[in-house]
Amino acid sequence: MKNTKTQPATYALRLRDNAIDRQIVEHRLRYRSELCRRAGIQRSTLHRIERGTQDAGQRFIAGVLAALPDAKFEDLFEVVPAVQS
């Protein structure tokens, strides 16, 4: 008999396309590095998360939301199916 169980779907958080760029303009920040300093994150971390080569962890999410007090979680992030390796 064939096993017909399906694997549960797994999901990941992804930074929405151009979300950071829009927030930098809205908050009148001059540089991305200013956002990183306020958020307590490395510029390289922001770059990797924007490119999709690193997942946004709790520290990143909390830091960005704290640095951008008017931003809403759903304006910055979206839930997407996780890439299976």
CA atoms of 11 and 31, how far apart (whole Å): 31
Instruction: Report domain extents, the chain.
Output: 12-73
Per-residue pLDDT of the chain (85 residues; tens, 9 = 90+): 565 666 667 988 899 999 999 999 999 999 999 999 999 999 999 999 999 899 899 999 999 999 999 999 999 999 998 876 5
Under CATH, what is the fold of the domain 12-73? Answer: 434 Repressor (Amino-terminal Domain) (1.10.260)
pLDDT at residue number 83: 73
How far, CA to CA in Å, does 33 sit from each of 43, 67, 83? Answer: 6, 12, 29
Question: pTM of this prediction?
Answer: 0.80
